[in-house]
Structure 1
Amino acid sequence: MLKVFMMSTNDVPGYRGDRKGKANSVMNFRQVEAFRTVLITGSVTKTAKAMNVTQPAVSRLLKDFGKETGLLLFERDGTGLKPTQEARQLFEEVNRAFVGLDSIMQAALQIRHKETADLSIAAISTISINVLPELVQRILRRFGNHPIAINTLTTPEVISEVKQDMAGLGIVELPVSIDGLSVERLPPIRPLVLLPKGHRLSKKQIVTAADFHNENYVALPSHLLHRAKIDRIFADQNVEPRLVAEARSTFVAARLVSLGVGIAILDPFVAKTLRSEVDLRPVDFDIQYEYIIVYKYNRTLSKRERYVCDYLHDKFTEFSQTDLE
């Protein structure tokens, strides 16, 4: 594996030069960068522009890099340079090293971002959109204007962020693998039926599966666990809703209901967010949404993080109630 060092000969213990007694400089990052950029751009001119140096400087870096590697890396091709087979082989290793450096820089940016934020939360979209904005407002009022980082991610990404200390807290829905993390279960909540304003089913106190028969129906994607459970309930009771739209986003599904496209079964977060635009009713389905807060195992939470957890417990208790007034 190619190892790139950024140091001078004075940094090398026991440096004695090469076997011929000549001063032997250590390969440096700029040489490798010039080599890689030439292979990518195919031009010394473009490389000089990309590196913000002169063309002679690029030529010198390439020449020095060739000496350090002991390989013939380029051949003259008219007025330009043509990479040799050895150069192309070496480029593969160099490029892998640079990919690693890019990953390091990305991690550094994330760490810096986390350090500038007193509180960092990673959550799936339905929580980030419908729950966290009000929470952020409350935190700022209570604790002052210190930075808060909110990352909207997929469930695997949330777990990864927490495990890698990129986020202090994560909020996801079960089921999910939570090995090595502390977990706080939030009160389970039940779905609601969203109806266009004035819909005939708005007169009912509770909507049943049979009420969906031949109704225009807006559904979430079929691969989702809750969609599969709902479909099974319909199938068991020989209910056939008229599927008119399938939306990947709960917010989009709710908006379609508000426009009169159809009725939908969604989590109470987005449902109550749009309560002024739709009618909401409980549904008699045996379905629950179960969410958890995760953080690094045995880590002591800060005051702000504890406040977040307590707020979410209270909020989920509120959402678990069926009072729709």
Structure 2
Amino acid sequence: MDLEIRHLQLVHNIITLGSLSKCADAMNITQPAASHLLKKLETHIGIPVFNRVGKKMILTNAGTVLLNTAKELLPRLDLCKELLVNEIQGDNGSIKISTECVTSYNWFPSLLSSFEKKHPNVDIGIDVEATGNPIKSLLEGKIDLAIVIDPIKNKNLLYHELFRDEILLVVPDGHYLQEKKYVTSKHFLNENYFMYTEDFENNTVAKKILIPSNITPKKVSKLQLTDAIIEMVDAGRGVTTMSNWLLKPYLVNKQLKSVRITKNGLFRKWYIATLVDTTNKYKTEFITYFQSEFN
């Protein structure tokens, strides 16, 4: 048998409010409509829900089962409605985010904290496991937002531009390339190139400059931490490439030099990617907040 929510509401209201007329008022229906609904329920289940003793309505065993079920389910439904309203209006919710570039962890956790102070009812989580390929996790519904550099065309995705940065070659003081106005792919040929522990073909410089020129550095060394890479370069063990904002503090404290890559420079754009059909108030505000901070 199929029971409806209004059947549970009917039984619950009759008992808690004390009469069929008050129950009808609470359900915004007429008393005859409430009586008809009760009769239809009893006909549907095949046994009485109430015994009528004078003007009193006393629950049968079947009615007690319905009342107990109503007491359990109706509060849950009310909570569900409240959560859905809050989700739509942006009063509370959760956002799971990840990035395809490990260097993002140098700046976006502090922005997350700032956003959470303004929106204390929005819980933000970082999915570290999705780092490296957040678009895949986004499309699979594992995360809500992805910070990416290279947009992948997909009808299910929207990209919201954040900022643009420049990638620079980093060499130790005294390196022969430090006096160059800019370097090209050929200048990587005899170098030990330090990079993060990602696939070579996913490295921005490799993807945009080296691979198209069919150039492979003499040696490629992979390290996980920015500080470790900087120390190696500072010690004269090789060269690396790094975004201008990430490199800036190291140029002050280390004997390092930076050189532009190609005559016009090597620039990239950062985006926040979302699924097309998953917009709500607080996610929109999150994207707007990030964009305003960078602008």
Q: Which of 225, 247, 250 does residue 222 from structure 2 map onto?
A: 247
Q: Work out whether residues 93 and 121 of structure 2, in 8 Å CA contact, stay in contact via their aligned partners in 1.
A: no
Which protein has greater RCO, CA pairs closer than 8 Å, 6+ apart? 2
1:13-43 alpha-carbon deviations (Å, 9 max, x no partner): xxxxxxxxxxxxxxxxxxxxxxxxxxxxxxx
CA RMSD across the alignment? 4.0
Partner of 1:299: 278
Question: Matched residues in 2 for 1:192 and 1:174: separation?
Answer: 18
Please tell me whether residue 126 in structure 1 is matched to residue 102 in structure 2.
Answer: yes
Q: Which has the larger radius of gyration?
A: 2
Q: CA deviation at 1:210?
A: 5.9
Deviation at 1:150, TM superposition (A): 1.1
Which runs of 5 or more residues in structure 2 are unaligned?
Answer: 1-91
Paired residues, number:
199
Structure 2 residue 147 is matched with structure 1 residue 168: no
Residue identity in the other structure for 2:202: L
Change (3 A) 1:161 1:211: closer
Residues 176 and 300 (structure 1), Cα distance of their counterparts in 2 relative to 1, 3 Å cut: closer
Residue 256 in structure 1 maps to residue 229 in structure 2 = no
Find the counterpart in structure 1 of residue 200 from structure 2.
222
8 Å CA contact 2:100–2:148 kept in 1: the answer is yes
* C-alpha distance in structure 1 between counterparts of 2:273 and 2:281, whole Å: 14
Q: Secondary structure at the match of 2:127?
A: strand
2:154 to 178, 202, 206: 178
Residue range with higher mean Cα deviation, 250-259 or 182-191 = 250-259
Q: 1:280 and 2:258 equivalent? A: yes
Are 2:272 and 2:287, in contact at CA under 8 Å, matched by a contact in 1?
A: no
Equivalents in 1 of 2:169, 2:190: separation in Å?
Answer: 16
Tell whether the 8 Å contact from 1:162 to 1:168 is kept in structure 2 after alignment.
Answer: yes
Match for 1:122: what amino acid? S
Partner SS for 1:266: strand
Any residues of structure 2 matched to 1:1-325 within 5 Å, and which? Answer: 118-144=94-120, 147-154=123-130, 158-197=134-173, 199=175, 201-204=177-180, 206-209=182-185, 212=188, 214-219=190-195, 221-224=199-202, 226=204, 227-232=206-211, 242-243=218-219, 245-247=220-222, 249=224, 251=226, 252-268=228-244, 270-272=246-248, 274-275=250-251, 276-277=253-254, 278-284=256-262, 287-303=266-282, 305-312=284-291, 314-315=293-294
Given the two structures, how large is their TM-score scaled by the length of structure 1?
0.47
Deviation of 1:241 after TM superposition, in Å, equals 5.5
1:176 is displaced (CA, Å) by: 2.6
Secondary structure of 1:191's aligned partner: strand
* Contact residue 254 and residue 271 of structure 1 kept, 8 A: no
Q: TM-score, length-normalised on structure 2?
A: 0.51
Q: Deviations over 1:107-128 (max 9, x none)?
A: xxxxxxxxx9633212224254
CA contact (8 A) 2:99 2:132 kept: no
SS at match of 2:134: helix
Counterpart CA distance in 1 for 2:272 and 2:94 is 18
Question: Which string of whole-angstrom CA distances, capped at 9 and with x for unpartnered residues, describes residues 217-255 of structure 1?
Answer: 33564332631433247658xxx8543x42164735444
Query: Does the 8 Å CA contact 1:127/1:171 hold for their aligned counterparts?
Result: no
State the distance in 2 between where 1:247 and 1:136 align. Answer: 29
- How many angstroms does 1:192 deviate by? 1.0
Give the number of the structure whose residues are more often strand, by fraction. 2
> Percent of aligned pairs with the same residue?
19
